[in-house]
Structure 1
Amino acid sequence: MLTRNYLTLSWLALAGLASPAVSYAQKATVDSKVAQAMQSADSSQIKADITYLADDKLKGRLPGTEGFKIAADYVIEQMKKYGVQPAGENGSWTQQVRLRKAFIKNAQVSLTLKGNSSANEQLASGRDAVIYPDPVTPHESVSGDIVFAGFGITNPEQHYDDYSGIDVKGKMVMVFRGAPQSFPSSEVSHFMDMVTIQKTAAAHGAVGVILGTPDSLGRLANTSRGIYSVLDDKGSVVVSRSYYSNQIKALAVLSYSYTQRLLQASGKSSREILAALKSGHTQSADLRAELHATYESSYQDVDGFNIVGKIPGSDPKLKQEYVVHSAHLDHLGISVPVQGDSIYNGAHDNASGVASMLQIAHIYANLKVKPKRSILLVAVTGEELGDLGSGYFAAHPTVPVKNMVADVNTDMPTIIAPLLSVTALGAEHSSLAKVVDEAASYLDLSVEPDPEPKENRFVRSDQYSFVKQGIPALHIKYGSKTPDGKNNLNEKVAVWRAKYYHKPQDDINGIFDFRAGAKYAQLNFLIGYLVANDPQRPEWNKGDIFATKE
Structure 2
Amino acid sequence: MSKKWGFYLLIGMFAGLWGCRPPAETGEITPAEIEAHIRFLADDLLEGRAVGSRGHELAVLYQENHFRGLGLEPAFGGGYRQSFFLKAALPDEKASVEVFSERGSFSLSNQEHFVINSAREDVPDGVEGELVYAGFLIQAPERDWDDLKEKDVKGKVLLVEINEPGNEAGGIFDGEDMTYYGRWTYKFEKASELGATGILIIHNTGGAAYGWEVVRSSATGESCFLPDVENRLFFQGWISGETADRIFSAAGFDRAEWARRAEERDFEPAALGVNVRVRQRPRFRTVETENVAALLRGRHKKHTGRTVILSAHFDHFGIDPALEGDQIYNGAVDNCAASAAMLSLARFYADHVDDLKVDLLFAAVTAEEQGLLGSNYLARHLPVPKENVLANLNFEMTNVWGETQDVYGIGAKQSDLDEICSEAARKCGYRYIPERNGNLGYFFRSDQLSFARVGIPSVWLHEGITSRGGDPNYIQRKHEEFRASRYHKVADEMDEDWDLSGTRQIARWAQAIISLLSERSDLPQFKSSSSFRR
Alignment TM-score, normalising by the size of structure 2: 0.84
Superposition pairs of residues 21-40 of structure 1, within 5 angstroms: 40=28
SS of equivalent to 2:379: helix
Cα displacement (A) at 1:142: 3.9
Aligned residue for 1:415? Answer: 400
CA change 1:335–1:146 in 2 (3 A) is same
Aligned letter for 1:411? E
Between 1:393-402 and 1:458-467, the stretch displaced more is 393-402
Q: Distance in 2 between matches of 1:202 and 1:138?
A: 14
Cα displacement (A) at 1:439: 0.8
Could you tell me whether the CA contact under 8 Å between 2:136 and 2:163 is conserved in 1?
A: yes
Could you tell me whether the CA contact under 8 Å between 2:303 and 2:356 is conserved in 1?
A: no
Q: Distance in 2 between matches of 1:388 and 1:263?
A: 35
Match of 1:188 among 170, 178, 182: 178
Match of 2:244 among 259, 280, 299: 259
CA change 1:405–1:326 in 2 (3 A) is same
SS of equivalent to 1:296: coil
- Greater RCO structure (CA 8 Å; 6+ sep): 1
Q: Distance in 2 between matches of 1:73 and 1:322?
A: 25
Q: Distance in 1 between matches of 2:194 and 2:345?
A: 45
Residues 1:200 and 2:187 aligned together: no
Superposition pairs of residues 529-540 of structure 1, within 5 angstroms: 529-540=515-526
Residue-by-residue CA offset, 1:425-466 (whole Å, 9 max, x unaligned):
111111111110111111111222232224321111111111
Q: Distance in 1 between matches of 2:305 and 2:121?
A: 36
Aligned letter for 2:203? T
SS of equivalent to 2:71: coil
Cα displacement (A) at 1:50: 0.8
Residues 1:513 and 2:489 aligned together: no
Q: Distance in 2 between matches of 1:529 and 1:266?
A: 62
Could you tell me whether the CA contact under 8 Å between 2:99 and 2:247 is conserved in 1?
A: no
Aligned residue for 2:354? Answer: 369
Aligned residue for 1:159? Answer: 144
Match of 1:96 among 62, 83, 103: 83
Q: Distance in 1 between matches of 2:204 and 2:404?
A: 39
CA change 1:477–1:273 in 2 (3 A) is farther
SS of equivalent to 2:320: strand
Superposition pairs of residues 354-393 of structure 1, within 5 angstroms: 354-393=339-378
Cα displacement (A) at 1:317: 11
Cα displacement (A) at 1:229: 1.2
Q: Distance in 1 between matches of 2:312 and 2:527?
A: 25
Aligned residue for 1:27? Answer: none
SS of equivalent to 1:341: coil
Q: Distance in 2 between matches of 1:432 and 1:215?
A: 31
Match of 1:502 among 459, 470, 488: 488
Say how many residue pairs are matched. 497
Aligned residue for 2:220? Answer: 224
CA change 1:92–1:221 in 2 (3 A) is same
Residue-by-residue CA offset, 1:390-430 (whole Å, 9 max, x unaligned):
11111122333444332110011122132321120111111
Cα displacement (A) at 1:527: 1.6
Q: Distance in 2 between matches of 1:511 and 1:455?
A: 29
Q: Distance in 1 between matches of 2:176 and 2:375?
A: 19
Superposition pairs of residues 297-446 of structure 1, within 5 angstroms: 297-314=282-299, 321-335=306-320, 340-446=325-431
Could you tell me whether the CA contact under 8 Å between 2:394 and 2:447 is conserved in 1?
A: yes
For structure 2, the residue ranges without an aligned partner over 5 or more in a row are 1-23
Alignment TM-score, normalising by the size of structure 1: 0.81
Aligned letter for 1:103? L
Match of 1:46 among 30, 34, 40: 34
Percent sequence identity is 27
Q: Distance in 1 between matches of 2:289 and 2:301?
A: 34
Could you tell me whether the CA contact under 8 Å between 2:81 and 2:291 is conserved in 1?
A: yes
CA change 1:317–1:266 in 2 (3 A) is farther
Aligned letter for 1:387? L
Q: Distance in 2 between matches of 1:186 and 1:100?
A: 35
Aligned letter for 2:78? G
Residues 1:68 and 2:62 aligned together: no
SS of equivalent to 2:185: helix
Could you tell me whether the CA contact under 8 Å between 1:139 and 1:297 is conserved in 2?
A: no
SS of equivalent to 1:188: coil
Superposition pairs of residues 77-92 of structure 1, within 5 angstroms: 77-88=65-76, 90-92=77-79
Could you tell me whether the CA contact under 8 Å between 1:360 and 1:521 is conserved in 2?
A: yes
CA change 1:538–1:140 in 2 (3 A) is farther
